[in-house]
Amino acid sequence: MNFELTTELHPAYSILCLLLGLTYAFILYRKHYRFEEAKPYLVYIMFTARFIVVSFLAFFLLTPLMKSLLTYTEKPVIIIAQDNSESIVAGKDSAFYKTAYKEKLRELVSSLNQSYNVHAFAFGDKINSKDDFLYDNKQTDISSLFNEIYTRYSNRNVGAVIIASDGLYNKGNNPLYESYKFTAPIYTIALGDTNIHKDIILKKVNHNEITYLGNQFPIEVVIAGHYCENENTKIVISKGKDTLVNTPVFINDKFYTNTFSYNIKATQEGIQHYKVNVLGVKDEISYVNNSSEFFIDVLNGRQKVLVLSNTPHPDISAIKDAIAANENYEVDEFTIAEFTGQLNKYNLVILHQLPSQEPKSNQIIAEINKQKIPVCYVLGTETNINNFNALNPLIKITEKRSNWNEIQALNSKQFNLFTLSDELRSFLTQLPPLMSPYGSYKLATSADVLFTQKIGIIETEQPMWLFSNVGEVKTAVIAGEGLWKWRMYDYANHQNQNIFNELIDKTVQYLSLKVDKSLFKVSCKNRFNENEALLFDAELYNESYELINDVDVNIDVINDDDKKFAFSFGKTSNAYRLNAGIFPPGHYKYVAKTNRAGKQMTQTGEFSINALQVEQANTIADHHLLYALAHKYGGEMVYPSKIDQLIDLLKKREDLKTVTYSQSKLQEIINLKWLLFLIILLLSIEWFMRKQQGSY
């Protein structure tokens, strides 16, 4: 380690520090009459101690820095990533991969450790640093492995990456097209069986996640048969003890694939459990991939949305289609002159360019406000701004010369009613401008602004898209017409309207959702995968509706066999959270309880855990992918029987070398603790000697 001293001022000032210390010590000890009995060398010691201390203290005023150069070496890092998914042991060689192969891999790690730094990982649906593999992961994501390796080793001397897998992935992107940011080669160990065996496979079950009571919902069953020609099987769909579908299937080809479509009626409300089973045939290699279970949430009625407009406009179609894309909503659309229905059957009313000059519009808006129905105003050139100001509590617009501006949307950082995707926020500035009233805007104190206006190149604080929740009434204002252009621009750039639909869907969802004023709330997802931990959130409020967490909250999770699993919530800053861990697939209910001030409060709910069987859907190893991956990144593919070849292949590489790193470090000398102790020591020695000589 090398080091040097530098200061903020010219080094010549250091001489002044020495002169200052010398002068101070000389003045203090220039006469010896106070130390007549002291030996001269003791005076010189005290003189020297005072000289050093004062010089150091003066030198500190120059803000001296110590620049050190640290040098260290690092051997090449060899990363070994082992596929830990169920598909590795789904074939006939499962015993080999559980015993002999593990021993071979340990020997490889031990041999490589003699020359390299070896780091082993297990990957599947998650990535773990471990050297024991249970082959129990429910999914395989090879692409995320690259990102994880780069995150951990981006500044390290990575020599090579060894991936041991069967090449089957069912999560994430194709690893051949994933960004690999290292120059280190990739070697692959080809696991699994590429032979095709006799097998019937339930490849996929396509279904809706939600449906409505009394509706027919579609189910698509995709089955495959390998070497099962001239065999008979059946597709059976059941719910509990009831058989809903029983379809005979004749397999007429060596490599058979077919899709069967069914419509099932939803007869019960809540989360319903269904099972699909394809009957096995004699001597097939695996029966695990013959069945699948799924859950559908059956709702009792959609949210109803009414879109009222002054006159026909392309915005109406854009808004209506975006809402209808979500099955939770049913949309009715009328002009103000046509509407004769009942307002109280709607959960939300969207008013496009209303109120207008049409007198009926004022009456309808007054009735909407009276019935406390959530409302969304979309302003346009036909809007009567004076009537609008009188009828809505959210915003007042003072028009200037009845002009209109072309405005673009800007994100508001203070908005927190709901969250928009990063794709929507980044795409927002590219969207075409809307036509908005020109004037001054005065907001209510309850307003939450989602977007502000950008006029030309000027970014303003005037609202464009805003919300308010006063009491139990929710209101929104979109201060501009031309939303149809946003939907078309979204399609032109992405070949879909997902971004525009998201914006409308989040707006409608917030407005139509009834405000829950209960003092105790518990929430969790309706649907989990079996490799996901169960996460619950709970909130407790006092009578002033302020968040508190001064009491305990307990919850019982109950499975289909009425077995209870008891948990207690942990406390966050002002709420509660629980990670209940991994549960087996099935349908569950929960009962959460708390007691505050002698008042018992309870919340109930239900959720489902879906079984993941994608690892059994394909048991034929994809060694072509492993071969292509290795050769694309300068490595080679080997088989488990020749795993020792990897040692020779790595030793032959000239680019696997030990690297020497140098790191420069700058530190203020005043922060060095040993200098403080040295100064204290010198002052202590001087003080002690002066006391011994009878001075002060």
> 3-state class of 394 per DSSP?
coil
What pLDDT, on the 0 to 100 scale, is given for residue 556?
A: 96
Of 538 and 471, the structure prediction assigns the larger pLDDT to 538
Query: How confident is residue 3, by pLDDT bands cut at 50, 70 and 90?
Result: low
pLDDT surpassing 60 at residue 514: yes
**Are residues 294 and 317 located together in one domain of the fold?**
no
User: Can you name the residues that pair with 542 across neighbouring β-strands?
Assistant: none
Per DSSP (E only), the strands in 375-433 are 375-378, 395-411
Question: Which residue, chain included where needed, has tokens 């005043």?
Answer: 670
**Residue 656 within a domain:** no
**Co-location of 371 and 323 in the same domain:** yes
In this predicted structure, what is the pLDDT of residue 668? 78
Residues 326 and 408 in one domain: yes
Same domain, 391 and 459: yes
Where a domain ends, among 271, 298, 325? Answer: 298
Phi first, then psi, for residue 490 (nearest 5°) are: -60, -45
Longest dimension (CA), the chain: 123
One domain for residues 220 and 268: yes
| Spatial distance between the Cα atoms of 311 and 47, rounded to a whole number of angstroms | 99
**Within a domain: residue 660?**
no
Rounded-to-integer distance, Cα 443 and Cα 53, Å? 66
Read off the CATH number of the domain in which 184 is found.
Answer: 3.40.50.410
Q: Are β-strands 637-638 and 186-190 bridged in parallel, bridged antiparallel, or unpaired?
A: parallel
User: Which 8-state DSSP code applies to residue 492?
Assistant: H
Whether residues 53 and 101 fall in one domain:
no
- Shared domain for 356 and 479, answered yes or no, is yes
User: What pLDDT score was predicted for residue 86?
Assistant: 84
d(CA 192, CA 196): 12
- 421 and 507 in a single domain? The answer is yes
The answer to the question of residue 91 being in a domain is yes
d(CA 193, CA 530): 26
pLDDT tens digit sequence for 242-293: 999 999 999 999 989 999 999 999 888 888 889 999 998 888 887 888 888 8
Instruction: Give pLDDT, residue 610.
Output: 82
Q: Does residue 310 sit within a domain? A: yes
Mark whether 357 and 493 lie in a shared domain.
yes
Which of 298, 315, 333 is where one domain is finished?
Answer: 298
| Residues 13-39 pLDDT 10s | 788 888 888 888 888 777 654 555 667
What are the pLDDT digits (tens) for 134-172?
Answer: 888 888 888 888 888 888 888 888 999 999 998 888 888
Residue 229 and residue 343 in one domain:
no
Domain that holds residue 645: 76-192+620-651
Could you tell me if residue 253 is inside a domain? yes
Residues 6+ apart with CB under 8 A from 77: 116, 117, 118, 119, 153, 156, 157, 158, 159
Report pLDDT digits (tens) over 333-344: 999 999 988 999
What CATH code is carried by the domain that includes residue 282?
A: 2.60.40.10
Of the residues 298, 319, 349, the one at which a domain ends: 298
Residue 360 maps to a domain = yes
Evaluate whether residue 279 is within a structural domain: yes
597-623 average pLDDT score: 84
Q: Is residue 615 part of a domain?
A: no
| Co-location of 274 and 181 in the same domain | no
Please give the tally of structural domains in the chain: 5
Which alpha helices (H) appear in 399-452, and where do they start and end?
A: 422-427
Specify whether 493 is located in the same domain as 364: yes
As given in the structure block, the two tokens for residue 33 are: 């009459």
Query: pLDDT of 300-331, one tens digit each?
Result: 777 899 999 999 999 999 999 999 988 788 89
